[in-house]
Chains A and B, each alone.
Chain A
Amino acid sequence: MGTPIIKVTNLSKYFGRLHVLKGINLEVQPREVVCVIGRSGSGKSTMLRCINFLEEPSEGEIEIHGLKIPAGGKGREHYKLIHEARLLTGMVFQEFNLFPHMSILENVMEAPVIVKGMDHAKAKEIAEMNLARVGMLFKKDEYPNRISGGQKQRVAIARALAMQPEVMLFDEPTSALDPELIGEVLEVMKGLAKEGTTMLVVTHEMGFAREVADRMVVMNEGELIEEGEPSEVLAHPKHKQTQALLDRYRTAD
């Protein structure tokens, strides 16, 4: 394998006294789909947010596509690195966070134009291409308040894709959705996986994980306690916390 797209080394995160991440090590290879599971409060979101520096890591190092960023950096150089790393990652949030004052098309064009300085015509072309990819081109002139939750999340995915990132980070992209709208978002994500998009996905959707993920990692109290092929982890969990977690999903279904 070549250089990993994401390499997290010995990542720790404290919120005040609270030790949320305790020395995480994780690699994501190009074209790989990795699913993260773990119970609520185990630190899944925090890990994802540290990877694109929405949270400053307390210790350790984040490496994105060869760009090494140690924790605790200060000054111009450090923030420049963070900015570059963010350009290489696309993030999809549980709550969509579309910009309500912009049309769907403007939502997707905004960052390429403002951040990359792309000219309008080119940005529009890329935006429309990505909206088509998630099946949302037909709503391009609508405003976010006029579309369903599932549609919003598909637009949010297109918005992240339009920056042409090396890896997509998903933080429970279907958790805020009504059950009947989950499928359309998972379909889009499956499509991305098939096209070879590198993805790191925090999810509770075990079906999706089994079908799409190349690898599954299990997080518990700020540590990665288990990893392996999804079918293997699901069928033969080695760790008793994993077992407990999976039991909970089974009873929930």
Chain B
Amino acid sequence: MKLFGSKQTTEPKSQAELLYELQQRKERIFRTNVGASWVFLLLFLYVVFSGDSLGLDAISLDSKFIADNFAFIGKGLGVTIYISLLSIALAIVLALFAALGRLSRFPPFYALSTFYVSLMRGTPLYLQIFFFFLALPQLGIVMPPIMAGVLALGMNYGAYMSETFRAGIGSVGKGQREAAIALGMTSGQVMRRIVMPQALRFAIPPMGNDFIAMTKDSAMVAATGFVHELMWRATRQGRATFHNLEALIMAAVFYWGMTLLLTAIQSRIEARLGKGDR
């Protein structure tokens, strides 16, 4: 290949180049078609659900209900995100301690960690949520609804996430620790400066997945009736006026949009993290 070729000399392309271009073109065409199909599917859904225009009464959505309740249900999105953020923060802290406990040689700490993880993973999240809302008050422990929801979600996800952290810490080679120790670092410094940054980098993609999953699992908190997030608002308005279809579709669109946005953010972060790696 020429580096500074002038434009008018069109050299014949090599076989490999041609094949590569062909492949690229195929890939582009495939992606375009997938995109077009998505648009079509969305349009289809839109047409079907605005049934009026097709004369289909069964699936016509009440646009007045949608307009009237958009703000009310939409407000739940903020609550959903708020709960999810608090819960993920709690989950990260718990996961960190649980992962360290699991790596510890101090029996009580190790036991506490395995006990916690086992209990949280061995019972349904749905049950845990109700436990915090309904069972604890029986013992005289009453807390603000949001706090109960955050505790349940955070503790549950913390247990799962601790495995991610543990894998992350395990992914840091022995040689890394030894190099740091040989340089005179204390075990705390080795953990903070060498092991944790690498473990976190390893754990961030799965943590992103957990966070996205949590935003949707937070809908379960609605079942207790005390936290006025997206799902609670949608079901309440839907039931009250017999507009469950509209209300749930609205909630679905909100959840879906949020998930798409979070996924986009996540792939951005991953692309950036990829840089300095190994």
Do A and B associate with each other?
Answer: yes
Cα distance A145–B276 when bound, in Å?
7
Q: Is the CB of A163 within 8 A of B277?
A: no
B-side residues, CB < 8 A to A, are 173, 175-176, 178-186, 189, 193-194, 197-198, 201, 275-278
- State the CA gap A100–B180 with chains docked (Å): 12
Q: How far is the CA of A114 from the CA of B197 in the complex (A)?
A: 15
Chain A proximity of B263: nearest CB distance (Å): 25
Please report the C-alpha to C-alpha distance between residue A242 and residue B194 in the assembled complex, in whole angstroms: 41
CB distance from A223 to the nearest CB of B (A): 25
CB neighbours (8 Å) of B193 from chain A are 110, 114
Most chain B beta carbons < 10 A, residue from A83, A95, A101, A156: A101
Q: Which one of A87, A93, A143, A156 lies within 8 Å of B276 (CB-CB)?
A: A143
Which residues from chain B contact A115 at a C-beta distance below 8 Å?
183-185, 189
Tell which of B173, B184, B197, B198 has the most Cβ of chain A within 10 Å: B184
Instruction: Verify B276–A111 contact, CB threshold 8 A.
Output: no
Query: What's the nearest-Cβ distance from chain A to residue B187, in Å?
Result: 10
Question: Distance (Å) between the CB of B186 and the closest chain A CB?
Answer: 8
List the A residue with the shortest CB-CB distance to B181. A54
Q: Is the CB of B179 within 8 A of A163?
A: no
| Binary interface encoding of chain A residues 86-106 relative to chain B, with 1 for a CB under 8 A from any of its CBs, else 0 | 110111010101111101000
- Listed from nearest, the 5 A-B pairs whose CB atoms lie closest are A97-B179, A111-B183, A91-B182, A97-B175, A115-B184
Give the distance in Å from the alpha carbon of A143 to the alpha carbon of B181 in the complex: 21
> A100-B198, A114-B193, A145-B277 in contact; A93/B185 too (CB < 8 A)?
no
Interface residues of A in 120-172 (CB under 8 A from B): 143-145, 156, 159-160, 163
Q: Are A86 and B198 in contact (CB under 8 A)?
A: no
Q: Which residues of B contact A144 (CB under 8 A)?
A: 278
- Given A115-B189, A145-B277, 5 new contacts (CB under 8 A): A86-B182, A97-B175, A111-B185, A115-B185, A145-B276
CB distance from A142 to the nearest CB of B (A): 10
Contact A99 B194 (CB under 8 A): yes
Inter-chain contact A99/B179, CB cutoff 8 Å: yes
| Chain A, range 21-50, C-beta contacts under 8 Å to B | none
A12 at the interface (CB under 8 A from B): no
Instruction: Tell which of A54, A89, A145 touches B278, judged by Cβ atoms closer than 8 Å.
Output: A145
B197–A111 contact, CB under 8 A? no
Closest-CB distance, A86 to chain B (whole angstroms): 5
B182 touches A101 (CB 8 A): no
A86 & B184 in contact (Cβ 8 Å cutoff): yes
**Chain A residues, Cβ within 8 Å of B197:** 101
Among residues 44 to 86 in chain A, which have CB atoms less than 8 Å away from a CB atom of chain B? 52, 54, 83, 86
* A93 B175 Cβ-Cβ under 8 A: yes
A145 to B277, CA, bound (A): 7
Which chain A residues lie closer than 8 Å to B194 at the CB level? 99
User: Is the pair B181, A101 in contact by a Cβ cutoff of 8 Å?
Assistant: no
- When distances are taken between beta carbons in the complex, the residues of chain B under 8 Å from A145 are 276-278
Q: Are A101 and B198 in contact (CB under 8 A)?
A: yes
* B179, B275, B277, B278, most chain A CB atoms within 10 A: B179
Q: How far is the CA of A87 from the CA of B277 in the complex (A)?
A: 29
Give the shortest distance, in Å, between B193 (CB) and chain A (any CB). 6
B87 to chain A, nearest CB (A): 28
User: Which residue on A lies nearest to B189, using beta carbons?
Assistant: A114
If A111-B185, A115-B183, A159-B183 touch, whether A93 touches B278 (CB-CB below 8 Å) is no
Chain A residues with Cβ below 8 Å from B278 are 100, 144-145
Given contacts A101-B197, A145-B277, contact A93 B178 (CB under 8 A): yes
A sample of 5 inter-chain contacts (CB < 8 A) reads A86-B184, A91-B179, A93-B179, A99-B179, A143-B276
* Least CB distance, B145 to chain A, in whole angstroms: 41
Distance in Å: Cβ of A41 to nearest Cβ of chain B: 19
Chain B nearest Cβ from A89, distance in angstroms: 8
B-chain residues with CB within 8 Å of residue A93 when the two chains form the complex: 175, 178-179
Evaluate contact between A114 and B185: CB separation under 8 angstroms: yes
Residue on A nearest B194 in the bound complex, by CB: A99
Chain B: minimal CB distance from A143 (Å): 4
Q: In the assembled complex, how far is the CB of residue A113 from the closest CB belonging to chain B, in whole angstroms?
A: 10
Among A97, A103, A163, which residue has its beta carbon within 8 angstroms of that of B184?
A163
Task: State A52–B185 Cα separation when bound (angstroms).
Answer: 13
**When chains A and B are docked, how far (Å) is the Cα of A116 from the Cα of B186?**
12
Q: Are B178 and A54 in contact (CB under 8 A)?
A: yes
Q: Which residues of A contact B183 (CB under 8 A)?
A: 86, 110-111, 115, 159-160, 163
Bound Cα distance A145, B278 (Å): 5
Nearest-CB residue, chain A, relative to B186: A83
Contact A97 B185 (CB under 8 A): no
Q: How far is the CA of A86 from the CA of B276 in the complex (A)?
A: 29
A52 B189 Cβ-Cβ under 8 A: no
Give Cα A110 to B179, complex, Å: 12
